[in-house]
A and B are shown apart, each in its own frame.
Chain A
């Protein structure tokens, strides 16, 4: 899954720590999501989209590899 959190943060001019506080997780969790190391929960993705005033689809995007069985 790809995401544009980093871009959206730059647009809004907020740091990882500030975004983390807005959605009540740790800064490291935001970092792991940005690096694509962690598949976040639906609720957290909805919260992040809400912070950026966008829909989830604008920020998170499926990749081909997501369809392969693990």
Chain B
């Protein structure tokens, strides 16, 4: 009885398998990886410029709408208009959106093994990121800790990119046993 059913099943396997492959719908198309790099690299450059010159570049001082703002001396304001140097905002947005697109765009030859590498790299990056954060919580204080938090906004994605691309490189250059 069972064998009979099994035969029917194998006989009726569709020839076009693409139609029954589970679609991974949480990844961007491959072309978005390039867009990601085009955003990420200027993000890094703007970030470095901001770190060196801080708020000296007045060109980026504009009025912004703030849902919440708390100056070092003064009260917290909600839903106010205030002046802000937006170089760090631009840099952060470029870095985060760029890194997300690089990290989560499909590879040219995306398959289930690459999905496995992606998932492993994400877990690995999360461990490293929080291991460093835990050490920083214990050993870093005050303004120095604020800097840790600022960098921590990007490190998860960056650790992921490094681990994923390293694993992908190893995968693509694995020794074949093909004769």
Q: Which A residues have a C-beta under 8 Å from some C-beta of B?
A: 6, 15-16, 23-29, 31-32, 34-35, 38, 40-41, 43-44, 46-47, 49-50, 55
Q: Determine the chain B residues whose CB is within 8 A of the CB of A47 once the complex forms.
A: 17
**A43-B21, A47-B17 are contacts. A32–B177 as well, Cβ < 8 Å?**
no
B178 interface neighbour in A15, A44, A46, A50, Cβ under 8 Å: A15
Q: With A and B bound together, what is the CA distance between A26 and B83 in angstroms?
A: 53
- A39, chain B: closest CB distance, angstroms: 9
Q: Does B4 contact A (CB under 8 A)?
A: no
Q: With A and B bound together, what is the CA distance between A58 and B177 in angstroms?
A: 22
Assess whether B178 is in contact with A32, with CB atoms less than 8 Å apart.
Answer: no
Interface segment, one of B94-102, B111-119, B129-137, B141-149:
B111-119
Q: Determine the chain B residues whose CB is within 8 A of the CB of A28 once the complex forms.
A: 113, 171-172, 174, 176
Assess whether B111 is in contact with A29, with CB atoms less than 8 Å apart.
Answer: yes
Interface residues on B, range: 20 to 34
- B50, chain A: closest CB distance, angstroms: 40
Known: A26-B114, A38-B113, A40-B112. 16 other contacts (CB 8 A): A6-B177, A16-B178, A25-B109, A26-B111, A28-B176, A29-B112, A31-B177, A32-B113, A32-B171, A34-B177, A41-B112, A46-B13, A47-B17, A50-B10, A50-B13, A55-B10
Assess whether A23 is in contact with B17, with CB atoms less than 8 Å apart.
Answer: yes
Q: Determine the chain A residues whose CB is within 8 A of the CB of B72 once the complex forms.
A: none
Q: Does B8 contact A (CB under 8 A)?
A: no
Q: Which B residues have a C-beta under 8 Å from some C-beta of A?
A: 6, 10, 13, 17-18, 20-22, 109, 111-114, 116, 171-172, 174, 176-178
Q: With A and B bound together, what is the CA distance between A15 and B178 in angstroms?
A: 8
12 A–B contact pairs at CB < 8 A?
A6-B177, A16-B178, A24-B17, A26-B114, A27-B176, A28-B176, A29-B112, A31-B176, A40-B112, A41-B112, A43-B17, A44-B112
**A24-B111, A25-B111, A26-B113 are contacts. A31–B17 as well, Cβ < 8 Å?**
no
Assess whether A31 is in contact with B112, with CB atoms less than 8 Å apart.
Answer: no
- A58, chain B: closest CB distance, angstroms: 11
Assess whether A31 is in contact with B178, with CB atoms less than 8 Å apart.
Answer: yes
Q: Determine the chain A residues whose CB is within 8 A of the CB of B13 once the complex forms.
A: 46, 50
Q: With A and B bound together, what is the CA distance between A19 and B171 in angstroms?
A: 18
Q: Determine the chain B residues whose CB is within 8 A of the CB of A46 once the complex forms.
A: 13
Assess whether A31 is in contact with B21, with CB atoms less than 8 Å apart.
Answer: no
